[in-house]
Chains A and B, each alone.
Chain A
Amino acid sequence: MTSKKKTFVAILVIIIFTIFLHSIGWLKPLENSFSSLLHLGSKPFSSFDTFLDSRKVGKLDKGILVNNLKELNKELENNLVDKTQLELLKNENEKLRNQLQFFSSGKYNHIGAEVIGRTVDPLGTTIIIDKGEADGIFQNNPVIIGKGILIGKIISIEKHSAIVRLINDNTSRVGAMVLNGDKSIGLVEGGYGLSVHMNFIPQNEIVAPGDTIVTSGLTEGIPRGLVIGAVEIIEKQPHEPFQQAVLNPTADLSHLSVISVITHISNDVEPYEENT
């Protein structure tokens, strides 16, 4: 056997051995410590990203741009960093207040978490949060923002972190309901991080642009009545049994900072109230 072949086989054996150790769970403590260290290191990048996002708001219009520039110049004079941080805290406070209002109904047990990054995988649209198994989070727990706006669900958990698959991920599937006269049900699916569709809506039921889409409660672990978005376009072919709707998600899925994970749904959850 040549030395090259030996090296190749040795590396392959070590890789297979590592995968084997991972699959039987022996690497878990090591992986948990490494991932805690990595989260710690990537947190400043995530905070910097949030800081950059906060400064992008309202830069589309020329008039707003000029005003923003003037405001920014003033802010620079009066300690820009302090002001931006205050602004961020205000937004965070507002989001938390909204979430508290939603949870005050007592229907759900929840855990607040901070978004610490996105996964580098080109396959999916996912985010990483700073709460995990040790905080009582389980796989498939729904994740929301604001007053009950669904953004995704937990797909993978570590001891102190978890990965959330967003509703616009291509493998995301959530049972949903249209708030129309028929209360049409269907399946909300993501489109490679670019769009969200609702499929399998019966052809004979009337769905109009602007109709609100909420969760139907038919997906395991996801309660009924969490807002997903609104219908934007209806795609209907006369020869097909189902129609499809393109949705406009209520949450801005590209700028998430504070979220809540619903960990337990009380048994006396009332069905979705139409007036909400």
Chain B
Amino acid sequence: MKRILDSILIFIFAMILTMAHIGLFNILPSPLHNINIVFIVLILLIVFNGSGKIVWLSFMLHFFMDIYSISSFGVYLVSGTLSILFLYWLHKEFFTNQSLLSVFAMTITGLVIFRILYIILISFGADLLMSDLLTKFAWELLFTIISTIICYFLITTFSKKFTSSFV
């Protein structure tokens, strides 16, 4: 029963996150719209929660994004899910603490792996202008790192305030 409830919650959360990602892409001005909300949330969940369910959440999120994408079905699913799986292992083996440096390194590594896999998958049968794509990815990397760090500070500040040592 708990497992079913968990799955429903993951589904609802994935739905809301996809809506926020697509919605903010429409609202935010260029180049700020390149922020990858999905990655920010997934990385912070890996760091502060560390549950394996995050990989399945990533699977669901990238499945939804594939529905919304004009690239071949599966491009987001493969690149997104595998890069989050890799990040999850990285967190378990190397970046085991909840430091700012871990978050910073994981954001860079995750996004770079995601975009490398993405480029490899879309380059089959597509004529790509690499300079244009790389510029977009550079903006994505920059704004996602900044946003992740801001979120990290907010989370650590608020979580400290609610720990028993402050009571």
Contacts and interface: CB of A to CB of B under 8 A. Distances in A.
B99 to A, nearest CB: 24
Nearest to A32: B67
B74 A22 contact: yes
A156 interface: yes
Contact of A23 (B26, B65, B73, B82): B73
A11 B67 contact: no
B59 A14 contact: yes
Contact of A38 (B22, B34, B73, B82): B22
Given A15-B81, A49-B27, A120 B21 contact: yes
B22 A35 contact: no
B69 A19 contact: no
B67 A46 contact: no
Interface in B121-141: 122, 126-129, 132-133, 136-137, 140
A95 interface: no
A11 B24 contact: no
Contacts of B70: 119, 121, 123-124, 126, 155-156, 163, 165
B19 interface: yes
A28 B89 CA distance: 33
A42 B27 contact: no
A162 to B, nearest CB: 11
* SS of A interface (majority): helix
* SS of B interface (majority): helix
B85 A7 contact: yes
A45 interface: yes
A41 B132 contact: no
Given A120-B65, A121-B71, A42 B85 contact: no
Nearest to B58: A11
B53 to A, nearest CB: 13
A13 to B, nearest CB: 12
Nearest to B29: A52
A8 B74 CA distance: 16
B77 A11 contact: no
A45 B126 contact: no
A170 B67 CA distance: 21
B24 A45 contact: yes
Interface string A165-183: 1000011000000000000
6 contacts: A15-B82, A42-B23, A46-B26, A122-B137, A123-B70, A123-B133
